[in-house]
Structure 1
């Protein structure tokens, strides 16, 4: 949920959901359930400008260093540029989680060009228009997203990639990485889908077993080295990529940053606590060398597939020393959260 890239050790980072309106309707969208719940109660699915500004003001009062604007789709709001401008005036580094389609508009990119400490996280869902548009259920979305990425790159804006891995796109991961690299993107996160919202409805089409990922991820890691793009993996436990433990994205949580998120029309919550609460481990995980720092998969993975795919990593396994060295470096930069 929280976009990485500009976070420093020990900072407070706040994730602000501006609303659930979106110009895509992705098959794996995790917030579709939240949107539908508000609609069922005849409640607005988007914050007003005043509500959004009030939350930014509260984050400023709490001493947040970084705010992530997300949704839904933040860039389709009429007040998008005003919100970014206000956030920057209060000293926030600003992350924007967006599908990038509205950024195909040159005028919008020009309007935000002068902002500093700005980072965009933009997803691809396939390496072709046909596949990507089938996932977003919006024809033309692939070309608009690519145009948005390239418009930002030409203006020197920082862009990071995000790919939700699914049963359908595993053979396309390398192709998506190539597109990112050719568009000037230097960092991409590959995430195992969290089966909420649309992703829960479509889980039989979307969710791969961890045993299906092994060879795909090894090939992807090789491609990343070739394209000189930094990658990491979200909700992919150490035992799934035992030779590459340094690529487990949750290692970055050892920096000790405090993270909060605010759903639409709801109270602000602790994301570090919430994230751990919706993950789980199998009985055998206690025998793994990474047990103390591994968060395990999303809890629904164990509910649907069991723990047979989770193989404890032994102390003398390849990659363990490399991971320990990275953990030491991270812990020197920040405190390790308990629990």
Structure 2
């Protein structure tokens, strides 16, 4: 059992916090779900504010902090945010589109960032541009610069109808450069059903391929994610976040919005606690009560019994 002072009524400890430090982004990914944050006029918290959040989190055994956006590296003070969280004992990782990674790689290495997830959805410049609106060469330059400074990298590859035929090439890229990789199934959040239907692609062929080329398979403790180990020790993880009770039942994460709200699930906007005032006032008692309330309210979005009911209803 993972040690934690905050455990919800389903027995899940809260050990991870995913922080959206900004909603601003210099890419325009066609599948962007904005971390489930919609209709927000961003009032971004300062590095010191995030340091307070992390200090309170670490006191409650929330150890792991993922910085995301928007695009977190669009904030010129991102290194200061990392420093604040690291200084109170938090383990920091970052998810980035990679466009500014070359610029920040050295300082992030100095701050001992645990690892960095880089979105890489195609190795074809035109397809990459269509999917993200970004420049592939700039992202690749960021990846290679980060490797020069010894940063541990993971590739995030969202499977789409536009790039499903590249899975072998992207897995080979990860192997060649000694990278780990998340292969992520598209979730229908922030897009119309029609768009989701056009973009969605299944994971079966990829899983079959990984079964053939891997030397080991296991499930990560966090969200029970299937992971395949390749001969060079690169680890390829399957992330299926939609209609997956096993993932939900093993989720140990809460989320923070850029303006200081605690969001309990990416799919839920009814389970959000406003912690901005407590953060700005450095009110430890008020913030502690909000963390404890988060543990009381938190619940899996997908539960086995709910999916079973839905299946019976659809088949009746």
Using the size of structure 1 for normalisation, the TM-score is 0.65
Matched, 1:15 2:18: yes
Q: Please identify which structure carries the higher strand content.
A: 2
Following TM superposition, by how much is the alpha carbon of 1:206 offset from its aligned partner in structure 2, in angstroms? 0.9
- Aligned equivalent of 2:207: 217
1:107-135 Cα offsets, whole Å, 9 max, x none, are: x2121222335211112111211111210
Matched, 1:113 2:109: yes
Q: Are the counterparts in 2 of residues 171 and 216 from structure 1 also a CA contact under 8 Å?
A: no
1:178-213 Cα offsets, whole Å, 9 max, x none, are: 12222320x2111111111247673132113x4xx4
Q: RMSD of aligned C-alpha atoms?
A: 3.5
- Aligned equivalent of 1:276: 300
- d(CA) in 2 for partners of 1:119, 1:162: 12
- Aligned equivalent of 1:161: 155
What is the correspondence of 1:192-231 to structure 2 with a 5 Å cutoff? 192-198=185-191, 202-208=195-201, 210=202, 213-223=203-213, 225=230, 228-231=233-236
What is the correspondence of 1:251-330 to structure 2 with a 5 Å cutoff? 254=250, 258-265=252-259, 267-271=261-265, 276-277=300-301, 281-283=307-309
Q: Which of 135, 142, 159 matches 1:148?
A: 142
- d(CA) in 2 for partners of 1:101, 1:265: 24
Tell me: CA distance 1:285–1:197, structure 2 relative to 1, closer, same or farther (3 Å).
Answer: closer
- d(CA) in 2 for partners of 1:277, 1:34: 16
Matched, 1:28 2:26: no
Tell me: CA distance 1:102–1:237, structure 2 relative to 1, closer, same or farther (3 Å).
Answer: closer
- d(CA) in 2 for partners of 1:201, 1:29: 15
- d(CA) in 2 for partners of 1:32, 1:14: 13
- d(CA) in 2 for partners of 1:125, 1:84: 26
- d(CA) in 2 for partners of 1:103, 1:170: 26
- Aligned equivalent of 2:288: none
- Unpaired stretches in structure 1, ≥5 consecutive residues: 1-7, 240-247, 287-301, 308-339
Q: Are the counterparts in 1 of residues 28 and 133 from structure 2 also a CA contact under 8 Å?
A: yes
- d(CA) in 2 for partners of 1:132, 1:274: 37
1:308-330 Cα offsets, whole Å, 9 max, x none, are: xxxxxxxxxxxxxxxxxxxxxxx
- d(CA) in 2 for partners of 1:127, 1:204: 23
- d(CA) in 1 for partners of 2:117, 2:204: 25
- Aligned equivalent of 1:93: 91
Q: Which of 122, 128, 131 matches 1:132?
A: 128
1:42-88 Cα offsets, whole Å, 9 max, x none, are: x2364344543443343234332121111111112011011111111
3-state secondary structure, aligned to 1:260: strand
Tell me: CA distance 1:75–1:199, structure 2 relative to 1, closer, same or farther (3 Å).
Answer: farther
- d(CA) in 2 for partners of 1:236, 1:16: 18
3-state secondary structure, aligned to 2:169: helix
- d(CA) in 2 for partners of 1:214, 1:174: 13
- Unpaired stretches in structure 2, ≥5 consecutive residues: 5-14, 215-229, 266-294
- Aligned equivalent of 1:327: none
Q: Please identify which structure carries the higher helix content.
A: 1
